[in-house]
Amino acid sequence: MVLRRYERIPVGDASQRLKAATGRLRTPLARTSHGGLLAAVLLTAAAPVSGQAVPCDAAGADPWVVSLRDRVLRFDDLAAFAVEKWGDPVGCEGEVTMDFDGARYGVLRLDFEDGVALSVETQPIETSIVTLGRTAGFADPEAVAAALRSYTTEVGVSIDWEDPETLTQGEEESQVFRDPTPGLNASAALVTRGGMLVRVRFSMAL
């Protein structure tokens, strides 16, 4: 079943748009020394939530997952790129993985045509990971890599694209690029297998 197209709502500050997409705007915010936004939180134990991913439109779908899907499709620029290039999602599933300080965290997966998938994972306290991948490799890797670069700019981070860290796991090689700003754990990665780009990833933890 094809999910309906969602109208994307412009948000003035790109870092706020990322927070809107991952559902953390309701947390009180304090401005950091580097101009970003940091949530004020209490240090409490995180409680794991058992369960498994279910289709977003299934009767048993968690409202948090449905809400995350809607926010991602309205606010997230990498999701917008995927919709523009491969059309509306043809599948969606997700699950809540943890409760922490009254907030919920989990994972969402949006499937597109041509075997493309976008996943979003949120973790306590202020961590989000967005991944766009195609197991068989992207047919237009330059456009996907450019979308990742544009995404980091829109989010408002300053990734150093000249000095990557290279990591190898099995047949995959990851080039990880980081924002050197102290206290801002932001990174972007290009993952290849057999010389083909199979995933791009952006993560940020405040």
- Can you give the pLDDT of all 206 residues of the chain as single tens digits? 333 333 443 333 444 545 555 544 333 223 233 332 222 222 233 444 445 667 898 887 889 999 999 999 999 999 999 999 999 999 999 999 988 888 889 999 999 999 999 999 999 878 999 999 999 999 999 999 999 999 999 999 999 999 999 999 999 999 999 999 988 899 999 999 999 999 999 999 87
Tell me if 153 is assigned to some domain: yes
Q: Is residue 50 part of a domain?
A: yes
Residue 97 near residue 48, CB atoms below 8 Å: yes
Q: Can you say how many angstroms the Cα of residue 179 is from the centroid of all Cα atoms in its chain?
A: 17
Range of the domain at 107: 14-205
Instruction: Give the number of other Cβ atoms within 10 Å of residue 67's Cβ.
Output: 14
4 lies in a domain? no
Bridge partners for 117 per DSSP = 111, 133
The answer to whether position 112 is within a domain reads yes
- The answer as to whether 6 is a domain residue is no
From CA 132, how far away is CA 144, in angstroms rounded?
A: 9
- Is there a domain that residue 67 lies in? yes
Does 189 reside within a domain? Answer: yes
Closest CA to 205 of 126, 105, 100: 126
The answer to whether residue 1 is domain-embedded is no
The domain total for the chain is 1
